[in-house]
Structure 1
Amino acid sequence: MFGLFKKTSELEKLQKQYEKLMADWHKLSTINRAESDKKYAEAQQVLEKIEALNN
């Protein structure tokens, strides 16, 4: 109940986005290699942002 109005931090948002992109990448890796490479590249960009926030 008290977590209802809790704001998510930028780091939490980026982590969720990274997890989603990696899941999509894994799913696409057996179907469409070109699209999976694009998802992986996007995930790496998000990971760089996460690392920048941690430092």
Structure 2
Amino acid sequence: MFGLFKKKTKAEILHKKYESLLKECHDLSKVNRSESDLKYVQAQAVLQEIESLQNK
């Protein structure tokens, strides 16, 4: 309850987006491999952004 109004950090937002992209990638891997690969590339770009934030 105390964290109800707490704003999420940029790293937390990016981590959530990364998890979402990986889930989509996994789901698409069963249907369309090329779209799955595109989602994986997007997820890796988000991961690099997260790592650059942590290195600052």
The bucket for the TM-score relative to the shorter chain is over 0.9
Scaled by the length of structure 2, the TM-score of the pair is: 0.93
Gaps of 5+ in 2: none
Mapping for residues 1-55 of structure 1, pairs under 5 Å: 1-55=1-55
Q: Deviations over 1:26-49 (max 9, x none)?
A: 010110011101100100100000
Gaps of 5+ in 1: none
Identity %: 56
- How many residues are aligned here? 55
Tell me how far 1:2 sits from its aligned partner: 1.5
SS in 1 for 2:30: coil
Scaled by the length of structure 1, the TM-score of the pair is: 0.95
